[in-house]
Structure 1
């Protein structure tokens, strides 16, 4: 049962999330990502919390850290969202859920980080504890949905912390310790153009591409696992043809492939290229996220006995943690897998449970530091 403090904090998080949702902070509207970042910066300033707005290649991030050699715990979230119709940027609270673009991905998490940091600082100040003794910092980035390179990857290179929680997945009962890697392949088939009335004079690139797509699909058929922890492929984009009365001489397809630690990506791409008639190029390649063992995770699991570890099929900015040797996990509130959908929402009750566990974790780290 939630305490009065938790209920008050949950309501504050929900109201702050509503304000953040109203910013249409999509990749196509970079000025709104900046507006959202400045709102967050101003919110921290109003509560006398030191922070910095970092900009890299036109992408803003907001970083609030105690001034100490290393921060024990960093909460990482993001303010950018995928595109949506205008009505989704007007939050709606209904039957214990908060609806809107970014409700679960990932503006509730930004709001939770902000409120938790504020409340812990205020409690420390009431006890006469210096701000820089705080065991918590927050990083809120602006490009997770597009790449994460100029947000999380850039900012994490400037941060010294012992453990990071990416509040961007899982649910209160499941802490994610593995996420699949991402491989985007483009396949191009070349043909010979001719008039559509004399197709025998041409070579139809679409037909060649269709055959190659069937070959690529074969590299993913027959893979079975109860949790689908194997490589998967989604044929997501096809481009071909310029005129209905012309034999197309070029056709291309884009495949969204998710792979696991059991796949040799270079070997897989080589086998695909050898099997198809067209040309294969790698458009994007992102590593897996695999959480290393950490006493911080052990401590968290002790404090949250109803929570277990698990896996996820998506990718997040957590993949950059390994690059900087930062142990971490992916965790979050409950959103019923509604990310990017028209009914995107977050379960408000789960925000309260997550907040309470994180608050307990930060207090425990302050009272009994690890290491």
Structure 2
């Protein structure tokens, strides 16, 4: 655990936000150097200047892949100085997701060294690691790009859940922009204009109506958050344009295209829908069955957020979302990881990899 905690601290000190792209590069190069210093073959990849590091036991192929990311959301500089206190490690990225990169690296190193001590070739190891650099902004040049060149049977995205909860389903994402247009006029003579803000406000209430009254266990139904509004440029002018952006999360029970069409028919504003991000639904897998047989106190569940796991379906890769305990502190000023949970997670993953190596599927 000390090695994983100390390595996580090293990674936290990189201010690897997307406003500091050079720090993401430095962090990725640090990981590449660490792996090579431990005689672990790896590949440094870039897509549109976003780095990813791939370490596989065989060329482009592995039965089990651990996936993590090193980019983090913005934070004040003090949060990039890790603090270990009361069994917790605090800092930006402590739980989202630098502990996962560190754990994956140490587990891979230890499994390789263990096999070498037994006189086994690296090719027998059923474990690979993928660490990416853009999960917080969509994962298109990280996970999506890298997974297209990897052949694996089962992927564990170490980016959610808890030690006692494996996530097998995540909601999809739809960004919906509503643009209202009116007619400008002087603020002293509003009757000569048409106020786009007022039109937008009315239409926002209409959109809200499509999400009211929905009930399901664990709130597993579509939700919306009115997250951004742009309108007006001068106090003494009737605004002629206003726009709102909705963050919509949907489930497998929703027809997204039909929902957008219904909203457009019900409002006077223009509705612009971004291409929806897919749901993540874990298919049945013998690997998951084997993991649950080892992790007897762990259950499967759902999550309302989204992660790079959604790309697994695109490449027909069975997988799950799993991780250490962070008490939902992601992106907060109190972000932390429970160190004891790291030990439990490492032990379960180590036993799982050993089980797959000794009894291949």
Tell me if TM exceeds 0.5: yes
Q: Which residues of 2 match residues 299-318 of structure 1 at below 5 A? A: 299-318=290-309
Indicate whether 1:369 and 2:353 are aligned: no
**Residues 68 and 133 in structure 1, CA contact (< 8 A), matched pair in contact too:** no
Q: Deviations over 1:141-178 (max 9, x none)?
A: 00100011110011001101110000000000000000
Q: Which residues of 2 match residues 120-199 of structure 1 at below 5 A? A: 120-199=111-190
Corresponding position of 1:59: 50
Corresponding position of 1:91: 82
**Counterpart Cα distance in 2 of 1:32 and 1:235:** 32
**Counterpart Cα distance in 2 of 1:159 and 1:366:** 19
**Residues 76 and 166 in structure 1, CA contact (< 8 A), matched pair in contact too:** yes
**Residues 71 and 137 in structure 1, CA contact (< 8 A), matched pair in contact too:** yes
Long gaps (5+) in structure 1: 1-9
**Counterpart Cα distance in 1 of 2:26 and 2:144:** 21
* Matched length: 361
Corresponding position of 2:73: 82
Corresponding position of 1:223: 214
User: For residues 69 and 339 of structure 1, do their structure 2 counterparts lie closer, same or farther at Cα, with a shift above 3 Å needed?
Assistant: closer
- TM-score, normalised with respect to structure 1: 0.96
Shift of 1:70: 3.5
**Residues 196 and 244 in structure 1, CA contact (< 8 A), matched pair in contact too:** yes
Please list every run of at least 4 consecutive aligned residues from structure 1 whose deviation after the TM superposition is greater than 2 angstroms.
none
Shift of 1:342: 1.0
Indicate whether 1:281 and 2:272 are aligned: yes
Shift of 1:369: 0.4
- TM-score, normalised with respect to structure 2: 0.99
Choose from 102, 105, 118 the match for 2:96: 105
Give the secondary-structure state (helix, strand or coil) at the position aligned to 1:227: helix
**Residues 185 and 284 in structure 1, CA contact (< 8 A), matched pair in contact too:** no
Q: Deviations over 1:54-88 (max 9, x none)?
A: 00111100000012573110000001011111111
Corresponding position of 1:13: 4
**Counterpart Cα distance in 1 of 2:48 and 2:355:** 38
**Residues 64 and 139 in structure 1, CA contact (< 8 A), matched pair in contact too:** yes
Long gaps (5+) in structure 2: none
Corresponding position of 2:327: 336
**Counterpart Cα distance in 1 of 2:114 and 2:209:** 59
Q: Which residues of 2 match residues 335-354 of structure 1 at below 5 A? A: 335-354=326-345
Q: Deviations over 1:260-316 (max 9, x none)?
A: 000000000000000011001013420000000000000000011110000000000
User: For residues 284 and 343 of structure 1, do their structure 2 counterparts lie closer, same or farther at Cα, with a shift above 3 Å needed?
Assistant: farther
**Counterpart Cα distance in 2 of 1:171 and 1:195:** 57
**Residues 60 and 150 in structure 2, CA contact (< 8 A), matched pair in contact too:** no
Corresponding position of 1:4: none
Choose from 272, 290, 300 the match for 2:263: 272
Corresponding position of 1:262: 253
